[in-house]
């Protein structure tokens, strides 16, 4: 039985051994960064990327169609809503790829089920209990610090699974004093699960502090997506930081008063993506950002000056090496006979094709691995090629 | 000097010992639990769901109207959750209270859907609490008929494709053969997957469809603010679920189907597994699951019998603390440990910051029940920060060492006692108590 003094020194020494290294240059499995941005609530692709050259567009949306002065024309067929200003600049630099008439294989209209399918990556909602991005992380191999990063609170399904991930969330709680943290470490020293978690948590907190995330986020942290994007971008840029992150941007469920509400949501999205780009500028050539929504909205307006849940919508891919400056869309048309179930933009591309193509392009994962392990049952969705320039 | 049995009874089965509780229990931990297994009455302080529905939503006709009608929802939520949390912190029957939380999480509804928010506390109070020691099938039926569940999982909107309501309206648009217009499968799927049989319970998509048809018409009377069976929305015809035929006799078709599912062998196993996971270990021992499932089946799903079987299990009394406390469990046990009698708004905020907002689970699965779900780097940092912030607000008269001995009993380890003894300030000692491994587990 050690005496009083020895025990104190022993605990202190143990704590010192488990303190996180502030700087570590351990080899990373990859330098490629990937950010998956989920627009929860069903973004109206027909407003974000108006198909202005389709003659049926204005006829189908007499009140809601985006006016010519409110968009940047992209390629003679499609435009970009004027609120997506920094995206327009990226498009001009050929670093933004726009996709349209995209949807998952989900054909119902529940946000909850559709997001579950989007994130689970199965062939039906609730089929997969973990997320496709977590399964992809499993294929990338690991190191001591996790490669995946969840920001903003709960871990989304897409990042849930066997592969460990780091998490960061701005908090309304004041930081614990450094001295107290040391005591807490000693207290938990003999509990392996607790002390490992504490080390990991302190490591993420250090990384976030270094990335400027130690300031309290104004307003509701969940709504301050640009602030979160900034912190996430900096963490991803770190030499020994995570490599794949997920961000949420909301405000899309425009059942009521779409003409007022949707531009606000687009503005916030643009600011978020601009913050992400800016914070990752040093590694932008190694970065790919994919922006999707679980489904789109009805073509026709409803009785509340809004739109209801639809099917196909737009998506975006951006990054320094992305083969951008074009719109990828097999456009089905907006005449009523061309609509899905007579009400929605019909889907002509499976979102999984985009996601599979992204994983192949960024991480060199083989088609076989992806179809077997990441997106099981997705054989009919061929991976998109040529997402990045050589 | 309290016994290990008292420590286990109060901290594992209960919600965490209050000051003096271990002494009161003395050597009679088992009896203390047994005495709590008796019919539970709804808490009178919580507003009745029907009355509140009429008050808030009685006159509402459309989507825009709902948004305006729900403006008071936030304040009502705070009021309800304060009462609910206070009950948990002060109750002298914490084993029963823990079971209320367990079952209301099993039949989870969530404020993720804003229209449900004013009714979640009433749901727990009316559909769950009175049934925790009754028949499981009664709890299933009460949940199925409650306004909160009807709205949360959309059954209120589910209309049979062959029903009179659909026949009457003019045909518009294309019918999808896989899911006929008007039918909503959400509740039917979740009642099988989550509430009764379990995801491996052997049901098929065809069963989900059949059950969904059976449950069409299980809806709301908006004037009364309560359940009403609407014959006009009900899908006519015999339906087959899990190989069993259910005659078309209106509401009774659904009652029969739900009762059938409620006592199915797969349900017994599913419920037994969740109970064993909650009280024994994240990977529950097969012996415990079998015993609980057996008691469930033999008694026709009598939860008083099942609960008595639970406290009879040797595995449930093992001395080692195998369960990691969720954020709510941790905060509630901390408040109990210091003898708190009231709950402040900051406590409710804490739940949210710590990642477990009351009735805020992101899906009908409810909150998870394993260490892997709750213990993360970020989660533990929040718990550390919360513990220090909470300790800073406590009176300096609270002696962490005395409290530790009082509430943890024989679980208090030498290393922790040593650290509390040597803490630089009383505030830090209290914060350390809340972070001790033996306090974070049960």
Predicted confidence (pLDDT) per residue in B196-232, tens digit = 999 899 999 899 999 999 999 999 998 888 999 999 9
Q: Is the pLDDT of residue A32 over 60?
A: yes
Contact residues for B425 (Cβ-Cβ < 8 A; gap 6+): none
Q: State how far the Cα of A363 lies from the Cα of A147, in Å rounded to an integer.
A: 13
Cβ burial of A383 (10 Å; 0-12, 13-18, 19+) is buried
* Alpha helices (H) in B26-134, listed in sequence order: 29-34, 49-57, 63-69, 73-90, 94-106, 120-123
Chain A residue with minimal CA distance to B179? Answer: A108
Q: Chain B within 8 Å of A235 (Cβ-Cβ)? A: no
Residue B151 has pLDDT above 60, yes or no: yes
Distance CA B222, CA B58 (A): 6
By DSSP bridging, strand A287-293 and strand A33-39 are parallel
Tokens representing residue A10 in the block: 């022993």
Q: What is the mean pLDDT of residues A207-217?
A: 61
CB contact under 8 A, A197 and B419: no
Q: Any idea what DSSP says for residue A389?
A: -
CA dist., res. B122 & res. B359, Å (int): 12
Q: Which residue of B has its CA nearest to A208?
A: B378
- Residue B301 and residue B135 in contact, taking contact as beta carbons nearer than 8 Å: yes
Please answer whether residues B22 and B1 qualify as being in contact, where contact means their C-beta atoms are separated by less than 8 angstroms. no
Largest CA-CA distance found in chain B, in angstroms, rounded? 78
Mean pLDDT computed over A39-67: 96
B51: pLDDT strictly greater than 70: yes
CB A312 within 8 A of CB A296: yes
CA B129/CA B143 separation, integer angstroms: 11
Range from A151-165, A193-207, A363-377, B57-71 carrying the lowest mean pLDDT:
B57-71
Q: Which of residues 11-70 of B touch A (CB under 8 A)?
A: 62-64, 67
Distance from CA of A184 to the nearest CA of B (A): 7
The interface predicted TM-score (ipTM) is 0.89
**What's the average model confidence in pLDDT over B262-281?**
98
Interface test with B, best of A167, A188, A206, A217 (most B CBs within 10 A): A188
Q: What is the radius of gyration, based on Cα positions, of chain A?
A: 23
Cβ-Cβ contacts under 8 Å for B324 (sequence gap 6 or more): A193, B370, B371, B374, B375, B440, B441
Range B84-102 average pLDDT: 98
The pTM of this model reads 0.77
- Two tokens, residue A212: 């400027």
Chain A, residues 78-107, CB within 8 A of chain B, namely: 107
Residue A40: list chain B partners with CB under 8 A. Answer: none
Residue A250 tokens read as 């909301």
Query: Which chain B residues are within 8 Å of A205, Cβ to Cβ?
Result: 381
Note the pLDDT tens digit of each residue in B6-40: 999 999 999 999 999 999 999 999 999 999 999 99
| Touching B: A residues 167-186, CB under 8 Å | 167-169, 171-177, 179-181, 183-184, 186
Cβ pair B389:A110 closer than 8 A: no
Residues A129-152 have a mean pLDDT of 85
Determine which helix (DSSP H) or strand (DSSP E) holds B426, and give its type and residue range.
Answer: helix B426-435
For residue A64, pLDDT beyond 60: yes
Q: Could you report the per-residue pLDDT of A236-257, keeping only the tens digit for each?
A: 999 888 999 999 888 898 888 8
Nearest CA to B391 out of B438, B331, B349, B341 is that of: B331
Furthest-apart CA atoms within chain A: distance in Å:
87
User: Are A227 and A171 within 8 A, CB to CB?
Assistant: no
Q: What is the DSSP string of A26-65?
A: PPPS---EEEEEEETT---HHHHS--TT-HHHHHH-TTTS
Summary mean pLDDT of chain A: 87
| Element containing residue B251 per DSSP (H, E) | helix B251-262
Chain A, 204-223: which have a CB under 8 Å from a chain B CB? 204-205
Put simply, the answer to whether B423 touches A177 (Cβ < 8 Å) is no
**pLDDT above 50 (res B179):** no
**How much is the average pLDDT of B371-381?**
90
Beta strands at A313-318 and A79-81: parallel, antiparallel or unpaired? unpaired
- pLDDT band for position B360 (cuts 50, 70, 90): very high
Which of A19, A166, A180 to mutate: most B Cβ within 10 Å? A180
Alpha-carbon torsion (A38, A42, A48, A51), positive or negative: positive
Kindly indicate the confidence band of residue B183, based on its pLDDT and cuts at 50, 70 and 90. confident
């Amino acid at each position: 039985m050690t005496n009083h003094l020895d025990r104190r020194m022993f605990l202190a020494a143990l704590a010192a051994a488990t303190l996180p290294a502030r700087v570590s240059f351990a080899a990373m499995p990859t330098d490629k960064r990937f950010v998956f941005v989920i627009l929860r609530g069903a973004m109206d692709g027909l407003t974000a990327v108006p198909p202005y050259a389709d003659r049926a567009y204005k006829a189908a949306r007499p009140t809601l169609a985006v006016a010519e002065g409110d968009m940047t024309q992209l390629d003679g067929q499609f435009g970009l809503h004027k609120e997506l200003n920094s995206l327009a600049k990226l498009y001009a630099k050929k670093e933004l790829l726009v996709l349209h008439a995209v949807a998952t294989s989900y054909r119902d209209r529940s946000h909850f089920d559709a997001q579950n399918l989007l994130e689970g990556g199965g062939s039906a909602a609730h089929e997969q209990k973990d997320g496709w991005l977590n399964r992809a992380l499993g294929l990338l191999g690991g190191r001591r610090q996790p490669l995946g990063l969840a920001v903003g609170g709960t871990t989304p399904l897409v990042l849930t699974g066997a592969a460990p991930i780091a998490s960061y969330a701005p908090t309304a709680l004041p930081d614990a004093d450094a001295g107290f943290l040391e005591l807490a470490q000693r207290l938990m020293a003999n509990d392996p699960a607790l002390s490992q978690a504490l080390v990991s948590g302190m490591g993420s907190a250090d990384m976030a502090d270094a990335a400027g995330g130690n300031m309290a986020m104004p307003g509701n942290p969940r709504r301050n997506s640009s602030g979160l994007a900034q912190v996430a971008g900096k963490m991803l840029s770190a030499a020994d930081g995570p490599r794949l992150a997920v961000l949420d941007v909301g405000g899309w469920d425009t059942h009521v008063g779409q003409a007022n509400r949707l531009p606000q949501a687009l503005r916030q999205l643009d600011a978020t993506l601009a913050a992400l780009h800016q914070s990752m500028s040093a590694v932008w050539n190694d970065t790919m950002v994919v922006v999707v929504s679980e489904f789109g909205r009805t073509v026709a307006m409803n009785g509340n000056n809004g739109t209801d849940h639809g099917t196909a919508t737009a998506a975006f891919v951006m990054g320094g090496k992305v083969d951008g400056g074009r719109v990828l869309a097999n456009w089905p048309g907006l005449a009523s006979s061309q609509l899905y179930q007579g009400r929605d933009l019909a889907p002509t591309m499976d979102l999984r094709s985009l996601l599979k193509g992204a994983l192949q392009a960024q991480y060199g994962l083989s088609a076989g691995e992806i179809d077997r392990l990441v997106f099981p049952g997705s054989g009919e969705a061929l991976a998109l090629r040529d997402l990045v320039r050589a | 000097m309290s016994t290990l049995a008292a420590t286990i009874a109060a901290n594992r089965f209960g919600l965490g010992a209050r000051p003096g509780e271990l002494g009161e229990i003395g050597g009679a931990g088992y009896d203390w639990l047994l005495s709590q297994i008796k019919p539970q009455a709804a808490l009178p302080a919580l507003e009745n769901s029907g009355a509140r529905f009429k008050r808030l939503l009685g006159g509402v006709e459309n989507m825009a109207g709902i948004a305006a009608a729900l403006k008071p929802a936030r304040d009502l939520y705070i009021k309800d959750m304060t009462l609910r949390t206070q009950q948990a912190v002060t109750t002298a029957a914490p084993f029963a209270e823990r079971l209320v939380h367990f079952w209301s999480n099993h039949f989870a509804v969530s404020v993720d859907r804003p229209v449900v928010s004013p009714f979640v506390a009433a749901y727990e109070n009316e559909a769950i609490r009175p049934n925790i020691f009754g028949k499981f099938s009664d709890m299933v039926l009460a949940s199925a008929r409650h306004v909160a569940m009807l709205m949360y999982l959309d059954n209120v909107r589910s209309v049979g494709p062959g029903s009179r309501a659909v026949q009457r309206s003019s045909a518009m648009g294309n019918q999808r053969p896989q899911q006929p217009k008007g039918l909503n499968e959400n509740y039917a799927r979740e009642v099988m997957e989550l509430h009764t049989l379990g995801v491996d319970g052997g049901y098929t998509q065809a069963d989900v469809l059949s059950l969904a048809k059976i449950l069409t018409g299980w809806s709301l009377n908006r004037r009364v603010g309560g359940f009403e069976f609407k014959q006009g929305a009900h899908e006519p015809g015999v339906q087959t679920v899990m190989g069993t035929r259910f005659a078309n006799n209106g509401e009774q078709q659904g009652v029969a189907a739900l009762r059938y599912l409620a006592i199915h062998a797969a349900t017994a196993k599913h419920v037994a597994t969740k109970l064993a996971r909650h009280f024994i270990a994240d990977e529950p021992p097969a012996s415990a699951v079998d015993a609980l499932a057996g008691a469930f089946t033999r008694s026709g799903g009598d939860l008083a019998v099942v609960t008595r079987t639970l406290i009879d299990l040797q595995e449930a009394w093992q001395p080692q603390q195998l369960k990691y406390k969720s954020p709510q469990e941790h905060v509630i046990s901390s408040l109990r440990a210091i003898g708190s009698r009231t709950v402040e708004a900051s406590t409710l905020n804490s739940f949210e910051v710590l990642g477990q907002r009351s009735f805020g689970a992101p899906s009908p699965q409810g909150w998870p029940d394993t260490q892997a779900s709750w213990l993360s780097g970020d989660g533990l940092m929040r718990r550390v920060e919360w513990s220090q912030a909470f300790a800073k607000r406590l009176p300096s008269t609270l002696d962490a060492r005395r409290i530790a001995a009082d509430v943890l009993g024989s679980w208090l380890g030498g290393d922790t006692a040593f650290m509390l003894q040597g803490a630089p300030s009383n505030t830090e000692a209290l914060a350390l108590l809340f972070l001790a491994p033996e306090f974070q587990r049960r």
